[in-house]
Amino acid sequence: MAEIQLKSLAHSYSDMPEGPDDYAIRQLDHVWHKGGAYALLGPSGCGKSTMLNIISGLVQPSEGEVLFDGKRVNELSPRDRNIAQVFQFPVIYDSMTVYDNLAFPLKNNKVPASKIKARVHEIAEVLEIQDKLYKKAKNLTADEKQKVSMGRGLVREDVTAILFDEPLTVIDPQLKWKLRRKLKQIHEQFDITMVYVTHDQLEASTFADKIAVMYGGQIVQFGTPTELFEQPNHTFVGFFIGSPGMNLIEVQRCARGVCFGNTNVSLEPWQVDVLQRTRSTNIKIGIRPEFVEVSSVASDDTFEAEVMDVEDLGTYKIVTVQLDHEKMKVRESEDFAASIGSRVYLSFPKQWLKLYMDEFLVQEQD
């Protein structure tokens, strides 16, 4: 196991990149600490697989360094890097038995036969495929094959890390949940550094202690699920995490805060200070649907809005309101009674009203 550091990493698949858009990874610095259970979360095409392949050595980065425990490994072959990688589709030998598939990486590493037997049985038990050990892999179901593929990654005790690239895509939804719990349990039991790639936030937060959110070839935030929810560092994190995502509204600078249309939103003095010291015109405010307060009566600091839609999701409701020319989502309890077309009064608790400049969160300096 090792700490994996990515230093000033950048990668373009083009031989002659002309601009930032030609890069799959853009100036990325990151550390995956030893023994952590991490998720790498982001939309399709943001560079997740490229990053994993750079770590395992399948792709040589155009710029920057990959360090394992502080030592540069750019020149090492995938084999010498000793990374186990589990892909979206099973990578197994169909003509071999499950036992031989699991034993293969150990035989390759000249592990003694008695140790191989014990380890194969241990992993088969964890993955609940003991009864399949002497079956030919080609006779397994898709789920079972992917379990074997995972087992081939998990069986080696000496790996630097295990990288999972959307490993549960082909798995039946019910089993998916079970396998994710299993992986978490395996992490706790064996204390291996694991990076789990997904574009599903639920999958990320049930597996990982910390999530790296990737967008446009960069890691825009690395934090716990709670940090990503309560303090999104980037508008993309606000939008991508949560269901529905954060309300984001383009605004202009105004006295004591910001405005859009005829609506003035006052901000904290330190936020106003930052606005006065900077020139960017790309300014947004963000608030999560869960934190917007709705009342049927007006008071100081409330904004009049119209209810446009109410979606009943059983235990709660998602209400769409229109404030000025902006539509916002609000999460309300199941006893929310206002009907479509009625007026409601919104307030934005200061603690949850975020200010973004050039898409990044404006933070209070100590």
Applying the rule CB under 6 A, the residues between 184 and 203 that interact with ligand ATP are 199
48 binds ligand ATP (CB under 6 A): yes
In the bound state with ligand ATP, the residue whose beta carbon lies nearer, of 32 and 348, is 32
Instruction: State the alpha helices, DSSP H only, in the chain.
Output: 48-56, 78-81, 98-108, 113-126, 142-154, 173-190, 201-207, 225-230, 235-240, 269-277
In the bound state with ligand ATP, the residue whose beta carbon lies nearer, of 20 and 45, is 45
286 binds ligand ATP (CB under 6 A): no
CA distance 355 to 234: 10
In the bound state with ligand ATP, the residue whose beta carbon lies nearer, of 199 and 317, is 199
In the bound state with ligand ATP, the residue whose beta carbon lies nearer, of 219 and 294, is 219
In the bound state with ligand ATP, the residue whose beta carbon lies nearer, of 32 and 260, is 32
Q: Which part of the chain contacts ligand ATP (CB under 6 A), choosing from 43-51, 218-226, 241-249, 265-273?
A: 43-51
- Cα distances from 171 to residues 99, 104, 177, in angstroms, run 21, 24, 10
61 binds ligand ATP (CB under 6 A): no
**Whose CA is closest to 58, among 34, 36, 84?**
84
**DSSP label at residue 3:** -
Smallest separation, CB 28 to ligand ATP (Å)? 12
In the bound state with ligand ATP, the residue whose beta carbon lies nearer, of 13 and 270, is 13
In the bound state with ligand ATP, the residue whose beta carbon lies nearer, of 50 and 247, is 50
In the bound state with ligand ATP, the residue whose beta carbon lies nearer, of 47 and 232, is 47
Q: Which part of the chain contacts ligand ATP (CB under 6 A), choosing from 2-10, 46-54, 65-73, 175-183?
A: 46-54
* CB 325, CB 362: distance < 8 Å: no
Smallest separation, CB 219 to ligand ATP (Å)? 12
68, two tokens: 């394992």
101, two tokens: 């598939």
Angle of helix 98-108 relative to helix 142-154, nearest 10 degrees?
20
Binding mask 6-25 for ligand ATP (x = CB under 6 A): -------x----------x-
46 binds ligand ATP (CB under 6 A): yes
Q: Which of 45, 130, 280, 281 binds ligand ATP (CB under 6 A)?
A: 45
Smallest separation, CB 122 to ligand ATP (Å)? 31
CA distance 183 to 196: 10
* CB 159, CB 192: distance < 8 Å: yes
160 binds ligand ATP (CB under 6 A): no
Phi, psi torsion values for 238, nearest 5 degrees = -60, -45
216 binds ligand ATP (CB under 6 A): no
**Whose CA is closest to 290, among 340, 332, 350, 345?**
332
- Number of neighbouring beta carbons within 10 Å of residue 259: 16
Q: Which part of the chain contacts ligand ATP (CB under 6 A), choosing from 38-46, 69-77, 234-242, 314-322?
A: 38-46
19, two tokens: 């601009």
Q: Which of 5, 49, 82, 193 binds ligand ATP (CB under 6 A)?
A: 49
42 binds ligand ATP (CB under 6 A): yes
Cβ-based burial of 204 (10 A; exposed 0-12, middle 13-18, buried ≥19)? buried
State the residues that interact with ligand ATP by CB under 6 A.
13, 24, 42, 44-50, 199
